[in-house]
Structure 1
Amino acid sequence: MLSWRVFYETEKSFNLLRATKYMAVEWADLPPELLQTIAGKLTIHADYIRFRAVCVNWRSSSPTTPHHLPCQLPWLMLPHGPTTHHRGFFSLSADKVHFLRLPEASPRRRRCGSSHGWLAITDESPAIFLLNPLTRAKVLLPPLSSFSNVVAFNFYDVGREYTLRAPNGDTYTLNLKQMRDFFIKKVILSSSPSSDDNYIAFAILNQTGDLAFCKNGDQSWKFIEDAKSYYEDVIYCNGLFYAVNKLGEITVCDVHGPSPRVSLICTPPQIGGDMQYVVSSSEELLLITRYLDFEFVDYQFDNVYKTMEFRVYRLDLNGPKWERVMSLGDKMLFLGENSSLALSATDFPGCKGNCIYYTDDYSESNYDGIPGDNDLGVYDLEDGSIEPLPCYPRNSISQLRWPPPIWVTPNPY
C-alpha cells in the first residue's frame, strides 16, 4: 500500500502530466525521468521500498540503494525478544515492535554503541565486532587485548585474564566479564562499513574517558595522546571527531592522516549536571547536559537514579562559549549509547519536536554502582515534562533491565 508521501508526490506529478502532453498516460507507464524525480524526493526508506514495489517500471527507474536518503528515524532496540535469539526493535513512527532474529546480540554480549545502523558489540573474549541488525553483516574490529594499556591477556588465568596499566603506572587485573562490561564506554563510526571502506571506529574508554581509534585494516587501537581525559560523548561531523568532557570542553580530532591532529575549543567550564552529550544540528554544535537524581522505588526496595532535566546549549565561537537554548523548534534529539543525533520531527509522523528522546547509558563504574531502572523517556524542553516511551512504561517491573535499550538507525544496506 502506498503511503501518503509516495501518493502525494506521484499524484502531483501525474496531474501535471495529464495537464500537459501526457494526456493518456497510465501510472505504470510514467516516463523514467519523472519516476527518478519522484523517487529522489522521498526521504523515508519505507516509502522508497513501497515506491519500488508498485510495478516493474517504477522499480527499474529507481536505484536499488537510495544513497540520497537522509538519516532515518532510529528504532529502539529492546532488551528482550520472544526467544534468546530474537530482539525487539520499536519503531516510533509505526508504533510497533519488529522482532529480528539476532543471535549475535545475545544477552551474554554487550553493545557499546550504535552508529550508521551498526552496533558495536563486545563479549567475554577479546573480540570487538560491528553488527548490522537488519542484514546481520558483521565486521571485526581490533580486539580488546590490542589496546596499549592492556599489557597482558591470558585466557587460562581464570578470573584475572586481563592485566592493565593504570595512568599512574600501577597494574591491575580484570576478568572477562568486567572487561566486556566496563572497559569501553562508547564506540561510534565515521561512516557505514557497507558503503565506505575508509570508515574509522572511535572509542571512549570507561573510568578514564580516554580516546582511541582504529581504521579499517588496523590490527590495534591507537590512543589520542594529546587529548585530555574524562570524555563523555563523541560525534563525527564534516570529517572530524568532536569529543566533549565532563566540563563541556570540546576536543576536535582529525585522524585521517598518519598521526592524529588535535585542537581544543576552550569554553568556560560547565558546572553542574551529571552527563554531557554533543550533537550536530543545522550546522551548529549543541551541548546537552543531563541532570540525574536518586529516588527510592518501592517495588525495587532500592535507591535508583532518574533523569530529572536536560539543558541545551549552542556553541558560540566568538567566545568561545556555550549559550543556553530554550527551544529546539521542530528538532528532536536522540541520546544514549548511540551516536548522538538530531532530526526534524516534521519529517517523521508520530514524533514531537522540541523534545529529547533518551535512553539509559549511565555508567555504574563511574557513579558508585547506583543501579538503574532503564531510565529512558521523552523530555519536553518546553515545560520540562517527561513522558514514557509507548513501548516502555516507567516503573514497569516486567521489563528486563539488561542490556538497557539503545537507539539504532535502521540501515538495510
Structure 2
Amino acid sequence: MAATQPSYWSDLHPELLGLVLGRLPSLADRVRLRAVCQTWRYNARLQLLPPPLPWLALLDGTFLSIPGGEIHRMPIPDDARYHGSIDNWLLLMQNDGSFSLVNPFSKTMLQLPKLATIWHQLRNADTGNPFFYKLVTPSSLDLSPDSLVAALIMDKHSNITLSICQPPVPNNTLRKYDDEHACDVVFFNGKLYAFISRKLFLVEIAGNHKCKPKISSMRCVIDTIKLSDIAQRSRSSTENYCFELRYYLVESGGRLLLVVRQVGVPFPLPEHSLGEHKRRTIWFNVFEADLTANSCHKWRRVSSLAGQALFVGTYSKSLPATECGSAQEDCIYFTCDYAWEYPDPDPLRDSVF
C-alpha cells in the first residue's frame, strides 16, 4: 500500500474555506483566518461574503467587536491622533492638521482636507478649536478618491460647520450654524440629511463626482420636534439629575430613525466625584421620519425596531439582531459617547430593551 500523504491546512479547497468564512461574521476572526498562511489569504479574497459585523468605535480610540465583545486597539502613526471611524476606515488627524482615512488592514490611505484650517478660515474668529469630527459617506465600504464625504465639525460651544469634499480635494462652499442642541448627519437613500436645532434638513448637493460637489441649499423637511412630544418622566424617583438631550440619526432596515436620548448626572455632585462616571441614560424615544411624497412630513413614534439591534453613539449602526450573536432584537445598545475625559470601563453600560 502506498504511504498516506500528510495533509496541510494550505491544501484546503477554496470552496471549503468559503464555507468556513461564511460562518465567521466577526471581522477579527476573518483577519485571523487570513493570517494562517499565504494560500488562505489569497483564496479568502476570492470569496463572495456578506459584510462583517462592525466594530464599535469608543472614545479612547479602541474598538468593541461584535459579537465577541473583545476590545481592540489599532496601531496608528506616532504623528497622528484618532478622531473616529467609518466601518473599516480610521479617521486620523496628523500633527500638521491634515486628515486622512486609513484602512488598517489593507493599509490604503485617502487624504482629506485640513478641516480645522477650513473651520478657522470660515469662522474668521477665535471660537476655539474643533473637538468633534464626524464623517459620513453614501457607501462606506467602497471609499475611493472619487468618494463623496460629508464632514460635521463642532467645537465645545456647539458651533457647527458642515463640509462637503472629495478626497483629497477640499470644497470651500460650507454652511455654518450656531446651535445649542446636539446634531447629527446621515446619508439615507443616497441623500444627505442633517438634524440641527431639532429640525430635519435635506442637504442639496450640486455637481457630481466629476465636478466639485458643493452644498447648494439646505431645505427643512420636518419642522422642529417639540420637547413635549419627546419628553417623558424620569425613571429615577430618588435622585435629582441635571439633564442633556442627545439626538442620533440612524438608517435602519430602510427607515430613517431619530433616537432621542436623555443623559443625566446627579446634582449636586458628591465632593471629589467624577461627574462623567456618574452619567447614565435616563430615558429614550425613537421616531421614524415619514418622508412620503403624499403626506405631510413628520416624525412618527415607533415602538418596534422590526428585529433590528441599534448600536447608538458617535457613529451609529443598525443590524439584524440575528447577525449579531448575543444581541437582542428591538434592543438599543448605547455606547458611552459623553465621557470624553474619563472613558467608561463598560462602554455598553447604557444598553436598554
What is the TM-score of this pair, normalised by structure 1? 0.61
Alpha-carbon offset, residue 56 of structure 1:
9.6
Q: Distance in 1 between matches of 2:135 and 2:153?
A: 9
In structure 2, C-alpha distance between the alignment counterparts of 1:41 and 1:320, rounded to whole Å = 41
Task: Report SS of the residue matched to 1:172.
Answer: coil
Q: Which residue of 2 aligns with 1:332?
A: 309
Separation (CA, whole Å) in 1 of partners of 2:79 and 2:329: 31
Structure 1 residue 220: Cα displacement: 4.6
- 2:287 is matched with which residue? 313
- Is 1:197 the equivalent of 2:197? no
Partner SS state of residue 213, structure 1 = strand
Q: Report the residue type matching 1:292 in the other structure.
A: V
Aligned mates of 1:381, 1:325 — CA distance in 2: 15
* Matching residue of 2:236: none
Q: Give the aligned partner of residue 70 of structure 1.
A: 51
Q: Deviations over 1:326-357 (max 9, x none)?
A: 2224312122222x210112112132232222
Alignment of 1:12-27 (within 5 A): none
**CA offset digits 1:243-278 (Å, max 9, x no partner):** 112314232443553443546353242233712111
Contact kept in structure 1, 2:153 and 2:160, CA below 8 Å: yes
Aligned to 2:333: 357
**Relative to structure 1, is the Cα distance of residues 361 and 47 closer, same or farther in structure 2, using a 3 angstrom cutoff?**
closer
Give the direction of change, closer, same or farther, for the CA distance of 1:53–1:245 in structure 2 (3 Å limit): same
Separation of aligned partners in 2, 1:63 and 1:302: 47
CA positional deviation for 1:303: 4.4
**Distance change in 2, residues 1:54/1:376 (3 Å):** closer
Which secondary structure state, in structure 1, belongs to the residue aligned with residue 125 of structure 2?
strand
Q: Deviations over 1:88-121 (max 9, x none)?
A: 4332422333344334586xx351x321322223
Consecutive unaligned residues of structure 1, counting only runs of 5 or more, are 1-26, 80-86, 152-163, 166-170, 365-370, 383-413
State the partner residue of 1:301.
Answer: 273
Q: SS at the partner of 1:150?
A: helix
**2:215 is the counterpart of 1:260:** yes
Secondary structure at the counterpart of residue 121 of structure 1? strand
Letter in 2 for 1:203: A
Match of 2:89 in 1: 118
In structure 2, stretches of 5+ residues that fail to align are: 1-8, 232-244
Cα distance in structure 2, aligned partners of 1:71 and 1:56: 21
2:215 is the alignment partner of 1:241: no
| Structure 1 residue 48, shift from structure 2 partner | 5.4
Match of 1:396 in 2: none
CA distance in 2, matches of 1:76, 1:187: 13
SS at match of 1:89: strand
Give the alignment partner of residue 135 of structure 2, picking from 183, 187, 191: 187
Partner of residue 300, structure 2: 323
Deviation at 1:144, TM superposition (A): 3.2
Question: Contact 2:57–2:85 at 8 Å: present in 1 too?
Answer: no
Identify the residue that residue 91 of structure 1 maps to in structure 2: 65
State the alpha-carbon separation in 2 of the partners of residues 255 and 116 from structure 1. 26
Deviation at 1:123, TM superposition (A): 5.2
Displacement of 1:289 in angstroms is: 0.8
For residue 318 of structure 2, what is the amino acid of its counterpart? A
Structure 1 residue 285 displacement after superposition: 0.7
* Secondary structure at the counterpart of residue 159 of structure 2: coil
How far the C-alpha of 1:127 sits from its partner, in A, is 1.8
**What SS does the aligned partner of 1:249 have?**
strand
Q: Which amino acid aligns with 1:315?
A: A
Counterpart CA distance in 2 for 1:127 and 1:57 is 38
**1:287-321 residue CA offsets vs partner (Å, 9 max, x unmatched):** 11111222155474354443222211111232311
- Cα deviation for residue 53 of structure 1 reads 8.3
Structure 2 residue aligned with 1:102 = 76
Are 1:270 and 2:225 counterparts?
yes
2:6 paired residue number: none
2:126 matches 1:173: yes
Separation of aligned partners in 2, 1:265 and 1:63: 46
Matches within 5 A, 1:370-389: 374=344, 376-382=347-353
Q: Which residue of 2 aligns with 1:130?
A: 101
- Higher relative contact order structure (alpha carbons within 8 Å, sequence separation ≥ 6): 1
